[in-house]
Amino acid sequence: MALTDPADEDPLLRPARMRLLGAAGALLRSEFLLTSWRVSGLRLLGAQLGSENMVLAGVRVTYPPGLRTGSRFFVNVGCMLDSFGGIDIGDDVSVGPNTSLLTTTHEPGTSSRRAGARTYRPVRIGHGVWLGASVTVLPGVSVGDGCVVGAGSVVTADLAPDHLYAGSPARQIRALS
């Protein structure tokens, strides 16, 4: 589900739209907002969210229309969901605090500016996945159904279903029954 680059939008509308998304995003990250209101707010901004989802304070969603979740999705405090390239999350997924799901990267640029043109690659998180605290999932990666990814891991490649992974880069530790 690749989305268009926000920079390609109508130049007259882009500043107002980005200010609106920024203000709405700041409100949704507030610790004074009820979880159900955060979920409702993300839906109003274009996210496709399943039922019984919980989004705790401090969660940042960069582009709500690029986020699609199943039911019973739980995302803990301080997470970053960079959804410009599309994030697809299955049912019964739990995401630990300060985890990042990233879909935006850059082509290598010239020596005067190494971060070249932006590119977007979708992230897919399967059903029943548990991502521990401070996990980073890089652009273009799929995490298979039933995986557990240990705290602090960096997921750089696709993960097979029903396994425990840990480390940087994340490595298969053992199969799960």
Supply the residues annotated as catalytic: 106
The dihedral region occupied by 167, where left means phi > 0, alpha psi between -120 and 50, and beta the remainder, is left
Joined together, the tokens standing for residue 133 give 């605290």
